[in-house]
Chain A
Amino acid sequence: MKDFTEQEIILGCVKEDSRFQRLLFDKYYSKMFAICIRFSKNEDEAKDILQEGFIKAFEGIKRFKSESSLNTWLSRIMVNHAIDYLKARNKNMFSSMSENALLIPDSSGLDEELANDLSPEEAMNLLQQLPDGYRTIVNLYAFEGLSHKQISENLGISEGTSKSQLSKARTFLKKLVNNLNTYVV
């Protein structure tokens, strides 16, 4: 098949031509799936988020202006949709986090270097074990590089809550890492 430029693919998608939609889908599938899998608990959930995110993208591509790259635009759609998806599933996603955090014992003093021994699959597995709220904040903070202020604006929570929840999420993860290494030993 002839190689099309990104602009041609966008124009084709605006015209709802399924050939161009497939080109765009195939081109950005891997990158977008990587985002979705980080926000979700498993692969099936990630596929659902990805499908719905692409549907939103195809429906909104008429409004796409080349002020940012298509990759950035699609990533933002996926992240936003992943947050909406998780919020729809658990409306008390952030309010219930503090209760979950109380169940986690204080893990201060654990060796952070244990994380270096993790394989990429183990690291992803740990991330997916986090409750939805923690995982969302870790994703926005550590992967999307948002500040606590931006996170609070995105999620509709206070900046202090964002900081405290990230701290608890970190503690949760360290505990999981520690447990994993204990079993390995």
Chain B
Amino acid sequence: MLYNNEDEFLKILASKISKLNPKQPSKNDWADFELAYRKHKNKKWLLIIWFGLLTISCIFLIYLMYYPKVSTEKSIGNNHVKITPQNKATISNDSKKMILNAVNESQNSNQKIIKNNNVSESKNKSKQNDRLNNTLHEKKPVNANLQMEELDKFNSNNQVAKYNNSLQNTIDSRKPKSFLLSDPINKNIIITKLTVNSIDSIKMYSLGATTKSSPIATYFELGLCIQNNNFTQLDYPSDQFFKGVGLNAGMRLQNNWSFNLGLNVMYLNQVKINKFSFQTEEHQIDRIDTTIKYNTNYNRLMMQFDTVMSYKNVNHESSSVFKNNILFISIPLQARYHIGNDKHSIYGSFGVTGTLIYQLQSLEKNVGLANENSQTTNDYTFLFAPTIGLGFQQIIYKDWAFHLASNYSNYLNSNLNQSNTFQFQTGIKYNF
């Protein structure tokens, strides 16, 4: 025994204590230690798993927020339809028909124009000569740019703007539309066909979690959750689901009641591309051969004009990208009543849910080949709603349990409209 000699009192005390009979270990001591050691190891692994999941979730959410990928991209133009295998499944039969109609119309239109050209050149030469005379009289070159400006103006002022204003307009715009923008006879630039079609490309990324509880004392739940809303103001397809990560923590009382506080973070990412492509065909007069002949049979002097024309196809594209990112954060505070035992129980719950909805919408327009204005809007919405739910939990291995829950919330927004949220959660639970 070590002690300082200078302090006699403490020396005596230390000496006395050192004479105490040492306590010998019992079987229970080892059993208690083994149990504590096992729980410590489990806690360590749980922490590692939890932080791992949290890290992965954060990385994934950041990825979704900053790198939204466009799932489909289609171009419909003159005789040109491109559908990639990735997005093929998302195209409905109606859309396919529309695409085919657009192609057929485009082909028919081209054939008519070719036919018209042949007729003009072979049978109606006199009329053509008149027109050529008029053209020569104007002494102006063919001005393609002027026509493009008209087209762009038309596109930006009318059609594209309508497409981009709302989702509903976009849906309507799925119908192929054709425009004959100029008279192929009177002007030398022939806009053969403008086909407009849009195909929605909606891709949703999701990651979710729910929180869980333990049967006795405090508990912690971690899981996945998926949710469907009918918030009209959120402006997203109703068949899309929010998915996210959630955490719950709570306290189970000695009776059948438990109190639960949760945090659910869910996300929906939507990218919509409206792409229009069309083709113009330019007819250009390269030269006019003039032949003067003297017909001896009739003693007439005759003059003949032959024209040499070239054709040029010009492709045009117009597109808009609509991005809709919605972050849905809900904090439920619930009381649960359990029926069952420690191994498996069913519970009903009621409480309130506070919700923050953040919506970031951006619209980028690219009309013609030039970038046009982009619009970005931010919306924050705070809501409270009563929530009821049903849940189930089953011990599957030692302290681990499987957890299943569903929650229904009824929101009343500022416009006095009711919105409903149905949330489904599942995950793994650990009892500390």
CB-CB under 8 A from A142, the residues of chain B are 3-4, 7, 10-11, 13-14
The residue on A at minimum CB distance from B26 is A29
Interchain CB contact (< 8 A) of A26 among B8, B9, B19, B30:
B30
Please state if A34 and B12 are interface contacts (CB–CB under 8 Å): no
For residue A129, CB closer than 8 A to chain B, the reply is no
For residue A72, CB closer than 8 A to chain B, the reply is no
- B24: min CB distance to chain A, Å: 6
For residue A31, CB closer than 8 A to chain B, the reply is yes
CB-CB under 8 A from A170, the residues of chain B are 7, 9-10
- A48: min CB distance to chain B, Å: 9
For residue A92, CB closer than 8 A to chain B, the reply is no
- A84: min CB distance to chain B, Å: 15
CB-CB under 8 A from A31, the residues of chain B are 22
- Among the stretches A4-12, A51-59, A97-105, A153-161, the one at the interface with B is A51-59
The residue on B at minimum CB distance from A138 is B10
Proximity string of chain A (105-145) to chain B, C-beta cutoff 8 Å, 1 when within and 0 when not: 00000001001101111111011000000000010011111
The residue on A at minimum CB distance from B2 is A145
- B39: min CB distance to chain A, Å: 10
Please state if A26 and B16 are interface contacts (CB–CB under 8 Å): no
Proximity string of chain A (19-56) to chain B, C-beta cutoff 8 Å, 1 when within and 0 when not: 00010011001110110011000000001000110110
**Separation of A33 and B17 alpha carbons in the complex (Å):** 13
Please state if B40 and A115 are interface contacts (CB–CB under 8 Å): no
Please state if B24 and A115 are interface contacts (CB–CB under 8 Å): no
Question: Given known contacts A38-B17, A115-B9, A174-B9, is B25 in contact with A143 (CB within 8 Å)?
Answer: no
Interface residues of B, count at CB 8 A: 29
**In the complex, how many residue pairs between chain A and chain B have their CB atoms under 8 Å apart?**
91
Please state if A173 and B13 are interface contacts (CB–CB under 8 Å): yes
CB-CB under 8 A from A47, the residues of chain B are 29, 32
Please state if B13 and A34 are interface contacts (CB–CB under 8 Å): no
**Separation of A47 and B13 alpha carbons in the complex (Å):** 23
For residue B303, CB closer than 8 A to chain A, the reply is no
Please state if A54 and B13 are interface contacts (CB–CB under 8 Å): no
Please state if B17 and A124 are interface contacts (CB–CB under 8 Å): yes
The residue on A at minimum CB distance from B14 is A142
Question: Given known contacts A115-B13, A127-B13, A142-B14, is B30 in contact with A33 (CB within 8 Å)?
Answer: no
Q: Is the interface of B mostly helix, strand, loop or mixed?
A: helix
For residue A18, CB closer than 8 A to chain B, the reply is yes
The residue on A at minimum CB distance from B39 is A55
Question: Given known contacts A144-B2, A174-B9, is B29 in contact with A127 (CB within 8 Å)?
Answer: no
CB-CB under 8 A from B40, the residues of chain A are 55
**Separation of A26 and B1 alpha carbons in the complex (Å):** 22
Please state if A116 and B36 are interface contacts (CB–CB under 8 Å): no
- A16: min CB distance to chain B, Å: 10
Please state if B24 and A30 are interface contacts (CB–CB under 8 Å): yes
For residue B130, CB closer than 8 A to chain A, the reply is no
**Separation of A51 and B37 alpha carbons in the complex (Å):** 8
The residue on B at minimum CB distance from A147 is B4
Interchain CB contact (< 8 A) of B22 among A34, A118, A127:
A34
Please state if B16 and A120 are interface contacts (CB–CB under 8 Å): yes
Interchain CB contact (< 8 A) of B2 among A38, A138, A143:
A143
CB-CB under 8 A from B11, the residues of chain A are 142
**Separation of A121 and B21 alpha carbons in the complex (Å):** 9
For this complex, 11 residue pairs linking A to B, each with C-beta atoms less than 8 Å apart, are A30-B24, A30-B25, A33-B22, A38-B17, A52-B36, A115-B16, A118-B16, A120-B19, A142-B3, A144-B2, A145-B4
Q: Contact residues of A with B, CB < 8 Å?
A: 18, 22, 25-26, 29-31, 33-34, 37-38, 47, 51-52, 54-55, 58, 112, 115-116, 118-124, 126-127, 138, 141-145, 170, 173-174
Q: Contact residues of B with A, CB < 8 Å?
A: 1-4, 7-14, 16-20, 22-25, 29-30, 32-34, 36-37, 40
Closest 4 CB pairs of A and B: A145-B2, A123-B16, A30-B22, A29-B25
For the complex with contacts A34-B23, A58-B37, 17 further pairs of A-B residues with Cβ separation under 8 Å are: A29-B29, A37-B23, A38-B17, A55-B40, A118-B13, A119-B16, A120-B17, A124-B16, A141-B4, A141-B7, A142-B4, A142-B10, A143-B14, A143-B17, A170-B7, A173-B9, A173-B10
